[in-house]
């Protein structure tokens, strides 16, 4: 509220001071007394300079988000008080005092009624000795130039107090107007333009654009320059800045496909990389070419042939980026998503991931490469066999983690079915769960795999792994195997210890939210459980059912990104 009041005051002050400056200029040219003329011209120049300073300060006052300590509030209150006092004093001084037609000395206000002019036509004040050339200067309203100067000093003192807070909070860049930052968004230092996302950033250009610290015309100007930078990319730095600005502004317009391809190529050639810009451009393409269906962290294409044709020129560059970045980095997985959309034009990706497993220094990196191979099985025909072979190359400690990805994403080949069947009855419950889950991926062994999965969960010594039931149901929610798994979950939700029953209820709710074909069935069951004699379980079933019904409402809107044309 304080910042809005201060901002409203600063909208009026430059207008008032501008009018005062014009009045002083007008009066200076109307008077014939040199002393009065000089004083009025100097006052007009001083007021014009103050107008420029206040216009500059007004642009910088767009909120004090983050200044919530007592010292800052006191300083802000003092600044606002000084500006208000200066405004009242300045208005009074500019409005002046009427002479009511009486001739008064402009300097000391001595009543000069009856004072005769000399031979040169000048009236000299008996009190202060000022010689006045025109009677009109004696009867005009009397104003106080010194009071106006004091008023402006008060206003500037208030502005200075405010700017001290801004400089302490965000550094010298706070003093640079937004217009200058937009004009130099590709030439000024990067720390003036781009900063990590923060609701408290009001200094850099991206912070002002994303936190509503910039005017709408400045926002539109920045978006236009960013689109031009992506449409006609000249450097990776310009592309990165343009993409980040579009991302922070939540731009929903269009960017040309040819410019997008050239921009992605520029970012791939950049040695430093640009994670946020790369992810934003990737999401622009995924939004227009990808389906809502996900395969792990891989997006499936709407039109595989079109994606293959458009992304073919980028495949070598994308693999090059993956070779330079960490497997746990955002940019690595972003490149993988684009290569998965490319599909057939990216056969070298399999060889790259296999090589990455042999040269990566960390176990997590090798495991991520193997998991990526498993996810790519839906797009690249050679990926399933490569994933299984890579699993054998991993250290024993990492094998279960990668095996979990293989059994979820890779449909078991006939040659692998005996291996998974043996794994499902090996006597180790965690491995039995993985083997049974793998069998649920094939139509021929799906029902058998569901039965073995239920038996493996029953044999576990610790808490049942109900989460292992989700992915087999997600493969085909409506078939007989999914019915077997849901029947087991329902039975456990009615029997056993309260903790196990509560976990089963929670998993049933997750399945109901994600698979509409099973929603009504599970909701009826949850409504039945609300009659349970155990009050905590009854309340848990009621809350889960309410969450599921709430999920039927409007879907959460997608993050705003540009689309390609």
Q: What is the pLDDT of residues 93-103, one digit of tens each?
A: 766 666 666 77
Task: Work out whether strand 298-301 and strand 563-564 pair parallel, antiparallel, or are unpaired.
Answer: unpaired
Instruction: Give the contacts of 296 (CB within 8 A, at least 6 positions apart).
Output: 371, 374, 375, 405, 408, 409
Q: What pLDDT, on the 0 to 100 scale, is given for residue 121? A: 67
pTM of the model: 0.65
pLDDT, one tens digit per residue, over 4-24 is: 555 565 566 677 778 878 887
Phi, psi angles (nearest 5°) of residue 510: -65, -40
Q: What pLDDT, on the 0 to 100 scale, is given for residue 271? A: 62
Q: How many helices (H) and strands (E) does the chain have?
A: 27, 6
How far apart CA 546 and CA 394 sit, in angstroms, is 44
Three-class DSSP category at 104: strand
Q: Compute the half-sphere exposure of residue 344: CA atoms within 13 Å on the CB side of its CA.
A: 8
Q: Which two tokens stand for residue 543?
A: 């809350």
pLDDT, one tens digit per residue, over 390-423 is: 777 777 777 777 777 777 777 777 777 887 888 8
Q: What pLDDT, on the 0 to 100 scale, is given for residue 8? A: 61
DSSP string, 416-451: GHHHHHHHHTSS-HHHHHHHHHHHTTSTTTHHHHHH
Rama region for 531: left / alpha / beta (φ>0; ψ in -120 to 50; rest) = alpha
Query: Positive or negative, the Cα torsion across 104, 107, 108, 112?
Result: negative
Q: What pLDDT, on the 0 to 100 scale, is given for residue 487? A: 92
Q: What pLDDT, on the 0 to 100 scale, is given for residue 229? A: 92
| Domain regions of the chain by residue span | 2-96+143-175, 99-141
How far apart CA 552 and CA 183 sit, in angstroms, is 46
The CATH number of 2-96+143-175 is: 1.20.120
Torsion of CA 24, 27, 32, 36, to 10 degrees: -40
Q: Which two tokens stand for residue 560?
A: 């705003």
Neighbour-count burial of 207, counting CB atoms closer than 10 A to its CB (0-12 exposed, 13-18 middle, 19+ buried): buried
Torsion of CA 522, 527, 530, 532, to 10 degrees: -70
Task: Work out whether strand 131-132 and strand 123-124 pair parallel, antiparallel, or are unpaired.
Answer: antiparallel
Q: What pLDDT, on the 0 to 100 scale, is given for residue 88? A: 74
Q: What pLDDT, on the 0 to 100 scale, is given for residue 66? A: 44
Three-class DSSP category at 142: strand
How far apart CA 54 and CA 160 sit, in angstroms, is 11
Contact 298, 336 (CB under 8 A): yes
The closest of 331, 341, 337 to 309, measured between CA atoms, is 341
Q: What angle do CA 25, 28, 34 make, to 5 degrees?
A: 150
Q: What angle do CA 40, 42, 43 make, to 5 degrees?
A: 60
How far apart CA 58 and CA 473 sit, in angstroms, is 60
Q: Which residue has the tokens 């008060």?
A: 154
What tens-digit pLDDT sequence spans the chain (565 residues)? 555 555 565 566 677 778 878 887 887 777 766 666 777 777 777 677 777 766 665 554 444 444 445 555 566 667 667 777 777 777 677 666 666 667 777 667 677 666 767 656 677 787 787 777 666 666 666 666 677 777 777 777 776 666 665 555 556 677 788 889 999 999 998 888 988 887 777 788 888 888 877 888 999 999 999 999 999 998 888 999 999 999 999 888 888 989 999 999 998 887 655 688 888 898 889 888 887 777 777 888 888 889 889 899 899 989 888 888 887 778 888 888 899 898 888 888 888 888 877 776 677 777 788 888 888 888 888 888 788 777 777 777 777 777 777 777 777 777 778 878 888 888 887 888 888 888 888 888 888 888 988 888 888 777 777 878 888 888 888 889 999 999 999 998 888 788 888 898 998 988 888 888 888 999 999 998 988 888 888 999 999 999 888 766 555 556 677 776 6
Instruction: Give the contacts of 129 (CB within 8 A, at least 6 positions apart).
Output: none
Q: What pLDDT, on the 0 to 100 scale, is given for residue 9? A: 57
Three-class DSSP category at 368: helix
């Amino acid at each position: 509220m304080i910042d809005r009041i201060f901002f409203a005051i600063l909208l009026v002050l430059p207008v008032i001071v501008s009018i005062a400056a014009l009045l002083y200029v007008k009066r200076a040219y109307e008077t014939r007394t040199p002393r009065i003329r000089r004083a009025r011209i100097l006052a007009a120049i001083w007021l014009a300079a103050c107008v420029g300073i206040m216009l500059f300060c007004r642009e910088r006052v767009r909120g004090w988000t983050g200044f919530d300590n007592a010292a800052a509030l006191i300083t802000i209150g003092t600044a606002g008080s000084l500006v208000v006092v200066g405004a009242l004093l300045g208005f009074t001084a500019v409005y002046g005092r009427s002479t009511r037609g009486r001739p008064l000395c402009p300097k000391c206000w001595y009543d000069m009624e009856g004072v005769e002019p000399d031979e040169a036509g000048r009236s000299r004040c008996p009190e202060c000795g000022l010689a006045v050339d025109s009677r009109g200067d004696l009867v005009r309203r009397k104003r106080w130039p010194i009071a106006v100067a004091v008023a402006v000093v008060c206003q500037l003192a208030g502005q200075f107090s405010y700017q001290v807070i801004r400089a302490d909070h965000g550094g010298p860049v706070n003093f640079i107007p937004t217009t200058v930052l937009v004009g130099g968004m590709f030439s000024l230092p990067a720390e003036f333009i781009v900063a990590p996302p923060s609701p408290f950033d009001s200094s850099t250009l991206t912070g002002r654009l994303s936190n509503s610290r910039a005017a709408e015309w400045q926002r539109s100007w920045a978006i236009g320059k960013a689109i031009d930078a992506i449409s006609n990319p000249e450097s990776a730095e310009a592309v990165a800045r343009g993409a980040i600005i579009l991302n922070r502004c939540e731009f929903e317009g269009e960017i040309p496909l040819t410019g997008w391809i050239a921009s992605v190529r520029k970012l791939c050639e950049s040695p430093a990389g640009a994670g946020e810009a790369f992810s934003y451009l990737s999401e622009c393409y995924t939004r227009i070419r990808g389906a809502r269906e996900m395969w792990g962290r891989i997006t499936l294409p709407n039109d595989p042939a079109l994606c293959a044709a458009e992304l073919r020129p980028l495949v070598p560059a994308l693999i090059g980026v993956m070779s330079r970045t960490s497997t746990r980095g955002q940019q690595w997985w972003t490149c993988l998503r684009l290569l998965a959309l490319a599909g057939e034009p990216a056969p070298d990706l399999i060889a790259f991931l296999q090589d990455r497993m042999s040269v990566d220094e960390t176990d997590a990196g090798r495991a991520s490469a193997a998991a990526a191979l498993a996810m790519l099985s839906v797009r690249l025909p050679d990926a399933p066999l490569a994933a299984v072979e890579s699993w054998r190359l991993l250290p024993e400690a990492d094998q279960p983690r990668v095996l979990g990805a293989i059994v979820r994403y890779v449909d078991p080949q006939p040659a692998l079915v005996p291996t998974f069947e043996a794994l499902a009855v090996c006597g180790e419950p965690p491995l039995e769960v993985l083997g049974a889950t793998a069998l649920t991926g094939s139509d021929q062994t799906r029902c058998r795999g569901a039965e073995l999965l239920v038996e493996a969960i029953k044999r576990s010594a610790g808490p049942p792994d109900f989460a292992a039931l989700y992915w087999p149901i997600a493969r085909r929610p409506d078939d007989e195997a999914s019915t077997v798994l849901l029947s087991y979950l329902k039975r456990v939700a009615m029997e056993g210890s309260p903790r196990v029953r509560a976990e089963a209820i929670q998993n049933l709710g997750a399945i109901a939210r994600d698979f509409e074909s099973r929603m009504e069935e599970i909701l009826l069951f949850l409504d039945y459980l609300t009659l349970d004699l155990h009050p905590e379980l009854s309340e848990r079933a009621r809350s889960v059912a309410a969450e599921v019904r709430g999920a039927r409402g409007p879907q959460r809107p997608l993050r705003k990104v540009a689309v390609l044309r």
